[in-house]
Amino acid sequence: MSAPADTAPAAASFPYEGPEQLREPLTAALSRVVDPEISMNIVDVGLVYGVTVDAAMAQVRITMTSAACPVIELIMDEAEAELDKVVPPELLIRVELVWEPPWSPERMSAGAKRFMGW
């Protein structure tokens, strides 16, 4: 399987609080992070639960499809690396792994569901 044809950044399917001018660059950065097990970006898979940016920090809450996911650290590290390319240097970056609410396939984008044959 190859990645979905529409490789443009996914429309943000997660809550965002922060400066409007950072919304698109942050969404694009997170869309470059690929879950290697399914060859789709974490935004389309629905792994991004929310982004909050304030005067001190850019915080991203992500989950995994399973607690047994063998690539948790890889995905978190890649998310931080991609965010580091777009977050202003004066802001800290925090990528937080959360398990509530549990991930479900309903969180996937329409393109990701088509890709998976759902």
Give domain status of residue 112, yes or no: no
Tens of pLDDT along 49-86?
999 999 999 999 999 999 999 999 999 999 999 999 99
Asked whether residue 11 is domain-assigned, the answer is no
pLDDT tens digits for range 8-43:
444 558 999 999 999 999 999 999 999 999 999 999
* CATH code, domain with 98: 3.30.300.130
With beta carbons less than 8 A apart as the criterion, state whether 75 and 42 touch: yes
Range of the domain at 66: 16-106
Quick check: pTM over 0.85?
yes
CB burial readout 53-87, b (16+ within 10 A) else e: beeeebbbbbbbbeeebeeeeebbebbbebbeebb
pLDDT at residue 12, as a whole number:
57
In a domain, 37, yes or no: yes
Q: Of 1-5, 11-15, 45-49, which has the strongest mean pLDDT? A: 45-49
Residue 64 lies in a domain: yes
Number of separate domains in the chain: 1
Asked if residue 118 belongs to a domain, the reply is no
Residue 66 inside a domain? The answer is: yes
The distance from CA 40 to its chain's CA centroid, rounded to whole angstroms, is 10
